[in-house]
Every structure is written in C-alpha cells, then in structure tokens.
Structure 1
Amino acid sequence: MENYVIAYDIRDDRRRLKIYKTLKDYAIPVQYSVFECSLRREDYLILRFKLEKLIRKEEDSIVFYRQCPRCSGRVERLGTSRDPFGDGIFIISSGED
C-alpha cells in the first residue's frame, strides 16, 4: 500500500462531479479538490485509468503526490482539517474485487 494526496483542477462542472465521485470510491476528501488515500498498486492503476478517461487533457489536471512512509508520518494539519486515517484503519474498495 502506498499513500497518496490527489489534487485536481477540472474546468467543467459535469466532469468535475464525475471525477469527484470516482475519487470517492478510492479516497477520502480532505478539502475541496484534494483527496488522501492508501492504495495497492493495482488499485492505483485502475483509478488512474478511470480518471484519465474522464478528463480533457488540454483543460484539466489531476496530480498524484505519492508519500513515502516517513513523509506521510510528518503531515501537519491546522484548523478544521482532520486526519482521515486518524480514527483507525479505513479500507476503501473500488467494488471490483
């Protein structure tokens, strides 16, 4: 499993909603257009493939920030931002297993 922060900038509202719904199957929203997740390699590849089919490459952008174990343990949160994994272990399934 690898940890990721995923951020996106999608121009079209309809595409943005599809991206959001797709990401929610794999990740936890922590801010507008920002998700955090822990994925197996095969789930990462499936998610990336699904998102690639939804975006317009000339208009939209999705960035996957892979976090090493050392870096993910050094995340600092201020204000209302809470650790989505802080209350225990969450298993998010794409429903394709």
Structure 2
Amino acid sequence: MLVLVVYDIPDDKRRTKLATFLEGYGRRVQYSVFECFMELDDMKVLYKALKRRVKPEEDSVRLYWITPDSFKRALAIGEPPIAEPPTFYIV
C-alpha cells in the first residue's frame, strides 16, 4: 500500500534530519512529501519512529494511507511521475 507522508517543520536542522530519515522509507516527490510503499505493520513502525523525531508543539507530520482504488485514480502534473506500486515487498 502507499503511505503519503507530509510534513511541515519550521526548524531547518530537524526538517533535514527527518527528510534524510524518510529517504530510507520512500521516495521524495516534493520538498515535504514522501511516497512510501509499505504494509500496515511497517507504517506503525514508521509512525512510532516519527513520534520520537518531531516536536508536536512546533511540527506537523501527517501519514495518509492510500488505498489501491484511490491510488489508481491519482493524477500528476510535472516530475516525478507517480510511481507504480511494487509487485512484492522485501521484509
């Protein structure tokens, strides 16, 4: 499944660290948006890891679980193009 991670972090250092961390989970498609293909258990692990890295009183991080039907209806203008979901996951 596709998990869309969207964040708004005002502190440059924390924002850079978070982006670097998220590169291990998915593909950056905009400055503060990552597309991550993962299973529900992996999303739970990611959520817990994100909670340790952000300051809720200053930062905003959202995770959106995109269903296969919704993903098929996605449209994009510009780069990068919408990624195809993987046919398998390496665990």
TM-score range, shorter chain: 0.7 to 0.9
Report the CA distance shift for 1:12/1:91 in structure 2 as closer, same or farther (over 3 A): farther
CA-CA distance at 1:79 after TM superposition: 2.2
What 5-or-longer segments of structure 1 have no aligned partner? none
Aligned-partner SS, 2:55: coil
The residue correspondences of 1:1-97 to structure 2 (distance < 5 A) are 2-85=1-84, 89=86
Matched residue type, 1:66? W
Q: Secondary structure at the match of 1:22?
A: helix
Q: 1:91 Cα shift?
A: 7.2
Quote the Cα distance in structure 2 between the aligned partners of 1:82 and 1:67: 17
Structure 1, residues 8-48: CA drift from partner, whole Å, max 9, x if none? Answer: 00111111011101111111101110111111222111111
Q: TM-score w.r.t. structure 2 length?
A: 0.86
Show CA shifts across 1:65-91 (max 9, x none). Answer: 1111100011001123312337xx387
Q: Contact conserved, 1:27 with 1:92, CA < 8 A, in 2?
A: no
How far apart, CA to CA, are the structure 2 residues paired with 1:91 and 1:46?
Answer: 19
**Identity of matched residues, %:** 32
Contact 1:22 1:51 in 2 (8 A): no
> Which secondary structure state, in structure 2, belongs to the residue aligned with residue 78 of structure 1?
coil
Unaligned runs of 5+ in 2: none
**In the comparison of the two structures, how many residue pairs are matched?**
91
Q: TM-score when scaled to structure 1?
A: 0.82
SS in 1 for 2:5: strand
Maintained 8 Å contact 1:25/1:92: no
